[in-house]
Structure 1
Amino acid sequence: MTPAENKTQPTAVPVAEFLATLSERRRGEAAVLIEMMEQIAGEPPKMWGPSIIGFGHVRYRLASGREGDTGAIGFSPRKTAVTVYIAEGFDRHRDLLDKLGKHKTGVSCLYLTKLADADPDVLRELITRSYRHQVAANRSRTLHPDRDSAS
């Protein structure tokens, strides 16, 4: 791997093998998100790195010229929170965040301490919008130029 390559690469580890390492609660939350994201993306889950479950595939190029591959949508069921990745960030999704329920956000991470605290219909819409954005942006090959200056 060259220094400019994305550290998170798809792996051959079966998703079920990873899920078996989770607590019962996180395994259940992961099952809900897997079903939801598989319906949205129309593709099965795949492990990206040791702990990210991704769906679909997009090639990105940032305004800086850095390129890489990533799942079109994905999440990571971590010990303290489920992290849902919204690669383009949240500016275009403020209307949904206001209705989502208890959550925190980072630049492109949605943190849900308990999946049950989030409105499932709002979460589905947020993930669907993000997926559509990623697929459309992949066609133009620049996924998040507005975030690139922060990279």
Structure 2
Amino acid sequence: MRRGAVRSVVLAGLLVLGGAGQAGAWAGPEADLAYHGRVSLTQGQLRVWMVPENEGPSALANATLRVRLSVDLADVQHLAGGCARAGQREVVCETGPMPEHGRGRHIGLLLNLRERPSEVVVRIDTWWNGGATDRNRANDDHVVLALDTGDDYAF
């Protein structure tokens, strides 16, 4: 697990614990996270390529997105920098800094699956948003069905 991903995970946990029971006590910046990309499945390997975007109105120092699968990951994974395995079917990746109305770093994952399924449901969402208020969660929450054809499925 890379230091940046660990920092995001730890900070997210502290924010959740520290803010429990204090609804409305702290209001962070307002930002609108969005994810755009594509997914493809070929013979037990799932490719996920995406670009996180911040549609504003405030910049974010970092956020963490989550990729959840309907099938188990293989035991051995070689993940992109800033990404970490978060469970049997989950990977989290930090976005890096996202300026107001700008993009984070491009994220590419080649995930080895335990089996060779004919299809995989891929869910992409925000795991931690840097403490921001996001009034439009529809553009950062995606569900994609990828068939084992090698075709790209866009989101």
**TM category, shorter:** under 0.3
Question: Which of the pair is proportionally richer in helix?
Answer: 1
Larger Rg: 2
Question: Which of the pair is proportionally richer in strand?
Answer: 2
TM-score of the two chains, using structure 1 as the length reference: 0.25
TM-score of the two chains, using structure 2 as the length reference: 0.25
- Taking CA–CA contacts closer than 8 Å with sequence separation of 6 or more, which of the two structures ends up with the larger relative contact order? 2
